[in-house]
Amino acid sequence: MSEYKTINDLGDLNGKVAMLRADLNVPMDENFHVTNTARIDRTVPTIKTLMDKGAKVVVISHFGRPEGKGDMKNSLSHVAPELEKALGKHVVFVDDCIGPKVEEAVKNMKGDEVLLLENLRFYNEEKKGDEAFAAELVKPADVYVSDAFSTAHRAHASMVAAAKLKPAAFGLLMEEEVNALSKGLNNPQRPLMAVVGGSKVSTKLDLLNNLVKKVDKLVISGGMAHTFMKASGIDTVNEANSLVQMDMLDTAKEIMATAKANNCDIVLPLDVVVSKEFKADAEHKTVSLDEIPAEGWILMDVGDKTIASINGKLDECKTLVWNGPLGVFELKPFDNATNKVAAHAAELTQAGRMMSVAGGGDTVSALENAGVADKFSYISTAGGAFLEWMEGKELPGVVVLKK
């Protein structure tokens, strides 16, 4: 982890004002009650560590996609009570994130209080990466700490410009996340397997092109597998029974050729589960690839032969990176393959035989659904940033904190 600045690199923090860029963009119901506190909970250790070092902590974050100032449904005031509950400390909310009101509140801070400032995205300058806005933002702070990996792929003012204006470092969550992802993809123990699912090949092109050069085994699943199946000569797959993208067949062939040249073993379905309707508990059956009905049935999941094949290959691997479910996991029983492969990966992880990293919104939901989210080595709550990392792209909010 030595290539990045961490809290320990900030020196003596006693009496200093530490501005913490967190990600408190949590889901809420229509009554403004937080429905999942994971992102709040994950930044608490950083806040406590800074407070233990004597720092006064000022938390900043984005929330939702507000249309300029005063959009109260996107106010962080709704998050303050949950942050207070998670921390066990008094949280003072300030209804702005720059200006005299903030400076006054910082000046009046008591030792055991935490300040939470209003939504950064109430100012358009945040998304533009505006340097003058960043300067206003960090004006009351002595040091800057970044804990928002989920927005590290965006060069927003609070992520990049702000980090250049004060002594700056990773928070514990950011450090943990970058560490885990480096172990997963940049410096993995081999053999390394990636599971990539999703409905369309077109949305995961950069990802697939990067992975076939880095991983030893690549499981292509979900709707995007249909295009690869068709490209590899499975003629029973068509536009009536699957999500095949006919205009992506040549691209799929190119990706398979690149994989072959890089000794990457692409793992495709050996059998599939087809259903009469796209709904839970619809009439369904498992068929071999040459038995896929031309119409009247839809590909929903992979069958037991495929599950056994993937699990057998998992047994040979030391590292797993997972993004995307194997089937339509939202509709039972078409979560079967995802659940069984996830359970096997969790078992290998718990036995110390594998390091497993998973990320992306659907993936986290799928692993929670399978009941194994806490049994993987690391689960990333970042969506876009996790994907861009897997695509091999440099993330501005990470690079800025290199030593």
- Which positions are annotated as active-site residues? 39, 200, 361, 384
Checking DSSP bridges between strand 298-302 and strand 271-275, what pairing results, if any?
Answer: antiparallel
Residues with Cβ < 8 Å from 8, sequence gap 6 or more? none
Q: Quick one: tokens of 165?
A: 């204006």
SS3 state of residue 159: helix
Residues with Cβ < 8 Å from 220, sequence gap 6 or more? 196, 197, 208, 228, 266, 267, 268
* Cβ–Cβ < 8 Å for 254, 228: no
* Cβ–Cβ < 8 Å for 159, 130: no
Cα–Cα separations (whole angstroms), residue 223 to 101, 198, 324, 327, 332: 51, 6, 10, 8, 17
CA angle 371, 373, 378 (to 5 degrees): 165
Q: Quick one: tokens of 142?
A: 């002595």
3-class secondary structure for 346-386? HHHHHCCCCEEEEECHHHHHHHHHCCCHHHCCEEECCCHHH
Asked, as a colleague might, if the bond just before 27 is cis with ω within 30 of 0, I would say: no
Interhelix angle for 38-52 vs 80-87, to 10°?
60
